[in-house]
Structure 1
Amino acid sequence: MKKISFIIFLLTLTTSCSKDYLFNNHQTKVSQELKKIKNSDQAVRFYPQMVNLKYNIRDFYSVSDSIYNADVKLGKKSKPFDFSKIPSEKIQVSKFPKQIQDDYYDEYESGQKLMVYVDSINRKGMYDIIKKYGYPSFYNRKWKDTINVRIGVTAILTHTDYNTAFGKKLLKLMLREYFVGRIEEGEMKQFLWHVDGRKGYPYDYVIDKERWSKRLRE
Structure 2
Amino acid sequence: MKKLLLLICLISAFNINAQTEKDSLLKRDADNIISELRFMYNLDQGIRKYLDYGTLDKHLTDSIESLSEEQLKKAEKELSLTKPVRNEIFKNFLNPIDTLNTDRMIEIIEKYGFPSLKRLKKYSDQKIEFSPYIILIHTPFSYKNRMIEIIEREYKAGNMKNICQYGYILWHLNGRSDFSYMTNNGYKMSRKDDGTFSLESSCK
Q: State the TM-score bracket (shorter-chain normalisation).
A: 0.5 to 0.7
Q: Which residue of 1 aligns with 2:24?
A: 21
The answer to which of 187-196 and 17-26 deviates more is 187-196
Runs of 4+ in 1 over 6 A off after TM superposition: 86-89, 200-203
The alignment partner of 2:118 has SS state of coil
Q: Which residue of 2 aligns with 1:194?
A: 172
| Coordinate RMSD, CA, aligned | 3.9
Cα separation, 2, equivalents of 1:23 and 1:66: 34
Deviation at 1:197, TM superposition (A): 3.2
Cα distance change of structure 1 residues 43 and 127 upon mapping to structure 2, 3 Å threshold: same
Look up the equivalent residue of 1:24 and give its one-letter code: K
**1:138–1:150 Cα contact (<8 Å) kept:** no
Q: Which residue of 1 aligns with 2:193?
A: none
Cα separation, 2, equivalents of 1:67 and 1:32: 26
Cα separation, 2, equivalents of 1:109 and 1:130: 31
The alignment partner of 1:30 has SS state of helix
1:168 aligns with 2:171: no
Deviation at 1:4, TM superposition (A): 3.4
More relative contact order, 1 or 2 (CA 8 Å, 6+ apart): 1
Cα distance change of structure 1 residues 34 and 145 upon mapping to structure 2, 3 Å threshold: same
Look up the equivalent residue of 1:37 and give its one-letter code: M
Look up the equivalent residue of 2:15 and give its one-letter code: T
Cα distance change of structure 1 residues 17 and 8 upon mapping to structure 2, 3 Å threshold: same
TM-score (norm 1): 0.64
Cα separation, 1, equivalents of 2:38 and 2:99: 16
Cα distance change of structure 1 residues 18 and 118 upon mapping to structure 2, 3 Å threshold: same
Cα distance change of structure 1 residues 206 and 23 upon mapping to structure 2, 3 Å threshold: same
1:181 aligns with 2:184: no
Cα distance change of structure 1 residues 197 and 24 upon mapping to structure 2, 3 Å threshold: same
**2:98–2:140 Cα contact (<8 Å) kept:** no
Q: Which residue of 1 aligns with 2:35?
A: 32
Cα distance change of structure 1 residues 88 and 148 upon mapping to structure 2, 3 Å threshold: closer
Which one of the candidate residues 133, 136, 141 is aligned to 1:157?
Answer: 136
Cα distance change of structure 1 residues 19 and 108 upon mapping to structure 2, 3 Å threshold: same
The alignment partner of 1:160 has SS state of coil
Deviation at 1:32, TM superposition (A): 1.1
Task: Specify which structure has the higher proportion of strand.
Answer: 2
**1:31–1:150 Cα contact (<8 Å) kept:** no
Deviation at 1:194, TM superposition (A): 1.7
Identity %: 22
Cα distance change of structure 1 residues 29 and 83 upon mapping to structure 2, 3 Å threshold: closer
Q: Which residue of 1 aligns with 2:101?
A: 122
For these two proteins, the number of residue pairs brought into alignment is: 175
